[in-house]
Amino acid sequence: MKKYDVIVIGGSASGIATAITGKNAYPNKSFLMIRKEKQAIVPCGIPYIFGSLHDTKKDTISDKIFEKNNIDLKIDEVTKIDAENKTCTTKDGSMISFEKLVLATGSKAHVPAWLDGANKENVFIIPKDKDYLDQAIKKLSSAKKIVTIGGGFIGVETSDELKKEGKEVIIVEKLPHILGTAFDDELCEAVEQKLKERNVEFITNMGVSKITGDDKATGVELENGESISADAVLLTVGYQPNTKLASDAGLSLNEKGFIRVDEYMHTDNHDIMAVGDCAEKRDFVTRKISTTMLASTACAEARIAGMNLFKLSAMKTFSGTIAIFSTALGDTGYGVAGVTEKTATQEQFDVVTGSFTGVDKHPGTMPGVHKQTVKLIAAREGGLVLGGEVIGGTSTGELTNLIGFIIQNKMTVNNILTAQIGTHPLVTAPPTAYPLIKAAEAVARKL
Amino acid sequence: MKKYDVIVIGGSASGIATAITGKNAYPNKSFLMIRKEKQAIVPCGIPYIFGSLHDTKKDTISDKIFEKNNIDLKIDEVTKIDAENKTCTTKDGSMISFEKLVLATGSKAHVPAWLDGANKENVFIIPKDKDYLDQAIKKLSSAKKIVTIGGGFIGVETSDELKKEGKEVIIVEKLPHILGTAFDDELCEAVEQKLKERNVEFITNMGVSKITGDDKATGVELENGESISADAVLLTVGYQPNTKLASDAGLSLNEKGFIRVDEYMHTDNHDIMAVGDCAEKRDFVTRKISTTMLASTACAEARIAGMNLFKLSAMKTFSGTIAIFSTALGDTGYGVAGVTEKTATQEQFDVVTGSFTGVDKHPGTMPGVHKQTVKLIAAREGGLVLGGEVIGGTSTGELTNLIGFIIQNKMTVNNILTAQIGTHPLVTAPPTAYPLIKAAEAVARKL
């Protein structure tokens, strides 16, 4: 029987990051990655294979990183974990033993049981599966009109890409706003305005009662009885953790169905860790169990797991998920870090908010300048920063990450008011009106 | 005699930021801004009036902000400060009394006394003076070949803009590298490579012995005896603090000629503060007196001064200048925060560095993707982050600001290794290879 010091199951973002961080931290240990997909693809890039990239081949992760890092790779599927004897059994009949095991089994696109017609032809989900996606691109190429069920990130980004390719697209969202679970209303409204400009249609506050058609989908019927005809239907209503292997192995799941983990990413078996979409998440601010699934969060968990595999570091723990999202439509970026005002208020935090709109280059006459808005959400108590939102140009992602650092390091509005920043006409807002600082001033006035 | 609670002398970035922050913090106090220029211009935008903006009119700061913030504005020049009786006398003969005075008198372009020929026609400095700059743009329009003396930010940015306008430009720099005082060598070399691609010529390791010509400049003579002919010469060898008013009023200057200030920005007179280019700076890391002049640093000092005008806050102090620079040439951004490896080593810090090159969007096949390199400089002791450098695309400015936050909040490499970030194909590096985190890993491997 083959024996490895560490086996990682799952070869997407968090599996890769665990294996590489782990091997880096423990170079003398042997690492095996077991992945069922022949070819790993970049998960966040999937919406863009339907437009900008035109092909799944352009959205792949090369296996060279395993060779380079001296990590063995086995394309196979683990069918059973024997936690007591510390072995994995795979589809090809191998049994491999481990000292430490990391579950990075990810999530699968959710098909709601109540939705009638989801198994018809020309109904597509967005799984992290190259073969499926290749087929979907091919079949969608002849579709003229597409209905997307679900106005979350995957739904919005994929719909926008398909529109760029000349399709007629309409998003149907059950919540009052597009991206409504991620952003505060004013940011959702900005996204909706941008979608309108880009001729991506959408209906909000409206559920879908069924997908119509015989064998092939011909559209959807809405909860108000109206029908929308379409040549294809995209189903993007979220993902669910892959946890069967874990629960079969006797590991505990939480009330939302994720694998229970501690702040070092241990499951309730000290030799088995779980990371990424399959692992339990707790919100950094609200401390509630969260269902946020992000490749970036997954990789943060993965680094923690990798570093703590054989030797625990009390300085390197995962102390809760700070939801940090960013996206872009055309040249406009949208980002959020931490809790929104909506969530903070629901959870009964006593918060103060402030926002400021300026420009992302300066002076405002600079070619390529884009408006930049920053909103901050801070606790009235001590001015602790709990969240922030950004609308801007291409620097939105990094500015959102800066706010993420502020939140996870428990900084207050004072830390922003006294902050030194660097500014330059071509790459940032002006020093006199840097929106992050002006937003902090707006908060401070109310404290 | 008119009386104001606060008088601010100087209407560029730091004067404006002091007045607005101060009025914000103390709305019941009366504020007067005294500025000698008829029209304030955006200092960092000046290089771009020679190209992208084409006109000083596009680089102005509107006076509406004063009206909006209920701050009086007087276009006049203060000729004398009576510190004992707390009055200012101006050129038009007014005498105005103050409770608190803030000096934001800025800096002037340096014309070295040893340089023969600097007063010839067609030799230009880059002052923050709209009338002078209007004349310079006009005169430079007929020049075909221009020599720039000094390869600092102003010299490089202005030369690149003039080249874009079709001029032949050559930069002469005395130090071994272009931007050599700001960046480590490898980053300087990347800038030099980019200048070559953009056909901006440069000579390094070479001083200028004189500017040639009779009344009009005809070029320069180099220290090696060679001559370069030119229709115009730009002199960009640095700036010097404007401190005459302060020293005439009996305020102390430091050994580099800047107005002495404490961490609340008080001069040695408790009722007079100084901020911006005229005020003393101490490096955040080396703790040495520094001569770094940046509008962004100036505005950070200004905010501290404004907030502390009448009531000191021990939580809102200026604890030293973190040099945070960013610039861009074409679509490539360059940034640095804190100390370079060069400075750290000179000052005898025991440092460890690590760098990583990835991409600023992902996957690397994404349209508009740009390489992104992050280098971190950390103390071996505790892994405290002392500096960082970035080469990337348009998000370089904000990523550099993120590193600035890490430095000023005394974070360690561990804080980066455990950090949660947000990633998105269109606006950031991938989650598995975010250069800031990979650079921290490279540092950690050596600790």
The answer to whether the CB of A181 falls within 8 A of the CB of A192 is: no
- By C-alpha distance, the chain B residue nearest A409 is B415
To the nearest whole angstrom, how far is the Cα of B114 from the nearest Cα of chain A?
32
pLDDT computed for residue B270 by the predictor? 97
Rounded to an integer, what distance in angstroms lies between the CA atom of residue B400 and that of residue B404? Answer: 6
Q: Rounded to 5 degrees, what angle do the CA atoms A123, A124, A128 make?
A: 165
The predicted-structure confidence for A94-148, as pLDDT tens digits, reads as follows 999 999 999 999 999 999 988 999 999 999 999 999 999 999 999 999 999 999 9
Q: CB contact, 8 Å: B369 with chain A?
A: no
Q: CB contact, 8 Å: B297 with chain A?
A: yes
Domains of chain A: 2-108+240-308 (3.50.50.60), 123-237 (3.50.50.60), 324-446 (3.50.50.60)
Determine what percent of chain A is predicted with pLDDT higher than 90: 98
Across residues A8-28, what is the average pLDDT? 97
Q: CB contact, 8 Å: A427 with chain B?
A: yes
pLDDT computed for residue A258 by the predictor? 98
Q: Rounded to 5 degrees, what angle do the CA atoms A411, A416, A418 make?
A: 115
From chain B residues 189-208, the ones with a CB under 8 A of any chain A CB are none
Q: CB contact, 8 Å: B169 with chain A?
A: no
Structure token pair of residue A317? 């723990």
- In this structure, how many other beta carbons lie within 10 angstroms of the beta carbon of residue B98? 22
pLDDT computed for residue A114 by the predictor? 87
Q: CB contact, 8 Å: B300 with chain A?
A: yes
The answer to whether the CB of A171 falls within 8 A of the CB of A202 is: yes
To the nearest whole angstrom, how far is the Cα of B377 from the nearest Cα of chain A?
18
Rounded to an integer, what distance in angstroms lies between the CA atom of residue A431 and that of residue B12? Answer: 11
Q: ipTM for the complex?
A: 0.95
Consecutive 10-residue averages of pLDDT for chain B (447 residues): 97 97 97 96 95 93 95 98 98 97 96 92 95 95 97 97 97 97 96 98 97 96 97 96 98 98 98 98 96 96 98 95 96 97 97 98 94 98 97 97 97 96 96 97 95
Q: What does the H/E/C string look like for chain A?
A: CEEEEEEEECCCHHHHHHHHHHHHHCCCCCEEEEECCCCCECHHHHHHHCCCCCCHHHHECCCHHHHHCCCEEEECCEEEEECCCCEEEECCCCEEEEEEEEECCCEEECCCCCCECCCCECEECCCCCHHHHHHHHHHHCCCCEEEEECCCHHHHHHHHHHHHCCCEEEEECCCCCCCCCCCCHHHHHHHHHHHHHCCCEEECCCCEEEEECCCECCEEEECCCCEEECCEEEECCCEEECCHHHHHCCCCECCCCCECCCCCCECCCCCEEECHHHECEEECCCCCEECCCCHHHHHHHHHHHHHHCCCCCCCCCCCCECCEEEEEECCEEEEEEECCHHHHHHCCCCEEEEEEEEECCCCCCCCCCCEEEEEEEEECCCCEEEEEEEEECCCHHHHHHHHHHHHHCCCEHHHHHCCCCCCCCCCCCCHHHCHHHHHHHHHHHHC
Structure token pair of residue B141? 């329009």
- By C-alpha distance, the chain A residue nearest B333 is A427
- In the block, tokens 């400009």 appear at A197
**Are A427 and B401 inside 8 Å of each other by CB?**
no
The predicted-structure confidence for A24-42, as pLDDT tens digits, reads as follows 999 999 999 999 999 999 9
State yes or no: pLDDT of A239 exceeds 90.
Answer: yes
Residues 6+ apart with CB under 8 A from B299: A423, A431, A432, A434, B13, B14, B17
To the nearest whole angstrom, how far is the Cα of B52 from the nearest Cα of chain A?
7
A52 — pLDDT class (breaks 50, 70, 90): very high
Rounded to an integer, what distance in angstroms lies between the CA atom of residue B412 and that of residue B427? Answer: 26
Q: Rounded to 5 degrees, what angle do the CA atoms A367, A370, A375 make?
A: 155
The predicted-structure confidence for A301-353, as pLDDT tens digits, reads as follows 999 999 999 999 999 999 999 999 999 999 999 999 999 999 999 999 999 99
Amino acid letter at B211?
I
The answer to whether the CB of B436 falls within 8 A of the CB of B402 is: yes
pLDDT computed for residue B105 by the predictor? 98
The pTM (predicted TM-score) of the whole model is 0.96
In A, which residues are within 8 Å of B430 by CB distance?
13, 42, 44, 295
pLDDT computed for residue A43 by the predictor? 93
Using alpha carbons, select from B34, A253, B130, B409 the residue that is nearest to residue B419. B409
Mean pLDDT of chain A: 97
Q: CB contact, 8 Å: B83 with chain A?
A: no
**Are B405 and A401 inside 8 Å of each other by CB?**
no
Q: CB contact, 8 Å: B395 with chain A?
A: yes
**Are A58 and B365 inside 8 Å of each other by CB?**
yes
Q: CB contact, 8 Å: B104 with chain A?
A: no
In B, which residues are within 8 Å of A424 by CB distance?
44, 325-328, 397
Across the A/B interface, how many CB contacts are shorter than 8 Å? Answer: 274
Rounded to an integer, what distance in angstroms lies between the CA atom of residue A323 and that of residue B61? Answer: 37
Rounded to an integer, what distance in angstroms lies between the CA atom of residue A383 and that of residue B175? Answer: 46
pLDDT computed for residue B118 by the predictor? 94
Q: Which of B432, B434, B447 to mutate to test the interface with A (most CBs of A within 10 A)?
A: B432
